[in-house]
Structures are given as C-alpha cells and as structure tokens.
Amino acid sequence: MRSIRLAVALLLLSFIVPSSHAQQARLLVTQKGDQSLAIVDPVSGKVLASVPEGGITGHEVIASPDGRLAYVPIYSNVGVGQPGTNGRTLVVIDIAAQKVVASLDFGHGVRPHMPVFGPKDGLLYVTTELDQSITLIDPKTLKIVGSIPTGQPESHMLALSHDGRRGYSANVGPGTVSVLDIPARKTLKIIPISSNTQRIAVSPDDRWVFTADQTTPRLAVIDTTTNQVSSSIPLEGIAYGTAPTPDGRWLLVTLPDQNKIAVVDLQTMQVVRSVPVGSYPQEVLVRPDGETAYVSCMHSNQVAEIDLTSWKLARLIPAGKETDGLAWAAGH
C-alpha cells in the first residue's frame, strides 16, 4: 500500500513541477544597431542571448503563437523612404536554441518590415514596402501563399482586426491608411491622415484604429464602421507607437521627443496621465495579462518596464544597441 501511495504522489508531482525542458515566456527585442535579436528573460530582466540575423538589420519581430519561434523581416540599413540597401529576406529564430533555423527569400528587394499573425487563419502577414503590398506566408512551410495590394508606397506598419477580416496599413510618406479586405485580398479604401503618418493599432473591440500624425502632435482616430477619421486626440508631442490594453480601457502612446508615454482613456479619448521612460521611445508592447507594458527606448538602448496597476516605471532593462521592435513569446 505504501508503495502505491508513493507512486501516486510521484505521478501528481510530475504534473505540478515544470519540466526542465519547459520554455518560459520571453521578451523579444530587435537590436537595430547590432543587427541581432535579443532574447530577454522578463523575470530577471537579463538578455539571455543576442542572435545575429545574418546581414542588414530587422526592425520588427513577431513570435509564433506557441512561443517557440521568432520571425524577423530583414528590412534595410536605413529608415523608411531613404535610399539604401533593400532587404529581401525573413529569418526564423528558434527561441530556445537561440539561433536562426530557417529563412525566406522574397526574390527581390522589398524591404519587408512588419510581421503580424492572422488571428483566425494562422498565416503570417508581412508588409512588403517596395511592392506596395502585404505578403501572406504559410509559417509551416515558409512559402508565400498570397498578396494584398495596399495601393500606396511606404506601407510600413500593419494591424489586423481581431476577427481577421480587416487589415490597416500605415503608409508613411503619403500620410495615409489603407483599409484591406483580408478574405478578398483587396484594398477597400485609402484614408488621408496628413503628409506623414506612423504606426497603427486597433482597439480590442475592432471599433477604432489609431495612427500617429508626424506633422502635428495628435493621434488620428478612425471609425472602422465608416472608414473615416472621426476625431483626433491632442498630445504633448509628436507620437509614434501605440498599443491598447487588453481590456480596451487604455491606449499607450510613445512620445519620442518627450521621453515618455501618454496614456489615453479610450472612454473619453483624452490623455489622462503620462509615464517617463528612457530616451526616444519607439514601440510599446502590452503583455497579454494586461499588468505590464514594455517600451523600446532606442537612444538609451533600453526597454522600459511599466507597471500598469500603479502606472509607474518599474525598471529600465539594458537590451542592446538601438532597441526597436518588441514581441512577447508565450511560455510552453
């Protein structure tokens, strides 16, 4: 009887104690200045590895839904709209092994930039800027399976609705947003914003799209039922990246020249507070649990960690040269 009780206890313990092979959640940070991807332990705040991307740098990154792989489009050695080397590949990094394990060649220079996983179809959507399109990739085979025209140059950033039916590209130089019909793979409308716009985000209920005017300190708010700019949110400085909290209550906005983030109450569409971060904040990522946000601070080579319950800066994590794109790799 004692041996039976011991066997049962050991069996139960095997379900409680995590396997040594279990992968913990990781924060992924592109290091533009080092042409590599940082894999960060979000608990200790330590960079576990900087994985070389094998050439000119990637600006953005996305993790596979299972948290095992990172996808990094290799963009260019210059900023959007500037003359320079045109990237033509996407590299795949095994997060646990900390190395590049595969790559996709687009066949010519397209400056691939923003990767997003389709919430329903599991495809990988990547902005292919020089082709004025979004390229659809099967992540299992790493094959191109389709394309959606944006109808505009410099389609730099992309956001997808949570129902997977609409896409929204921020077209930097033209200062427009393209509304995309994802199932039909076509452009529905091009919305003028200003002479220059950057970054884009969709509210959790798919009702609003936000993009940052680069000529005036404001966010443009697009009503997705009419596909028109319905209002604007005044800001303290020129905005850049935006991200909503999962509950749909707040929108976090980076203000690079102010070295802070603004927090917008999405019920009133007004800024209600700000939080100081590192130098020249770029992208903001809200963790899936809604308790923490991470902000890449490019000029101070750090990632700011913000406690969203207290709205305080928790710490600044050294994360490599010219930190930019962020992604969350779930544990498994």
Return the amino acid letter for 158. L
Residue 249: pLDDT above 70? yes
* Mean pLDDT, the chain, integer: 94
Higher-confidence residue: 264 or 5? Answer: 264
Burial class (CB in 10 A: 0-12, 13-18, 19+), 163: exposed
| d(C-alpha 120, C-alpha 296), whole Å | 28
Break the chain into its structural domains and give their ranges: 23-329
Tokens of 229: 């700019």
- The residue-averaged pLDDT of 228-251 equals 98
Number of neighbouring beta carbons within 10 Å of residue 265: 14
| d(C-alpha 69, C-alpha 95), whole Å | 6
User: Phi and psi of 313, rounded to 5°?
Assistant: -70, 115
Task: List, for residues 19-34, the tens digit of each pLDDT value.
Answer: 335 679 999 999 999 9
Task: List, for residues 39-73, the tens digit of each pLDDT value.
Answer: 999 999 999 999 999 879 999 999 999 999 999 99
Q: What is the pTM of this model?
A: 0.92
Please identify, in words, the CATH class of the domain defined by 23-329: mainly beta
DSSP state of 58: B
Task: List, for residues 266-323, the tens digit of each pLDDT value.
Answer: 999 999 999 999 999 999 999 999 999 999 999 999 999 999 999 999 999 999 999 9
DSSP state of 25: P
